[in-house]
Amino acid sequence: MRELSPSHILFRKKAIAIARREDNDDVVFWISEINKYAIVHLTYSKETSGEYPITNLFSLRELEEHCTNVSKYN
Query: What confidence tens digit (pLDDT) does each residue in 17-64 have?
Result: 999 988 889 999 999 999 999 999 999 899 999 999 999 999 999 999
User: Residue 72 has what DSSP assignment?
Assistant: H
Distance separating alpha carbons of residues 5 and 20, to the nearest angstrom: 22
Whether 73 shows a pLDDT value over 90: the answer reads no
User: What are the angstrom distances between the C-alpha of 66 and each of 2, 33, 72?
Assistant: 26, 22, 10
- Measured in degrees and rounded to the nearest 5, phi and psi for residue 55 equal -135, 135
pLDDT score, position 74: 60
pLDDT score, position 41: 95
Distance separating alpha carbons of residues 53 and 56, to the nearest angstrom: 10
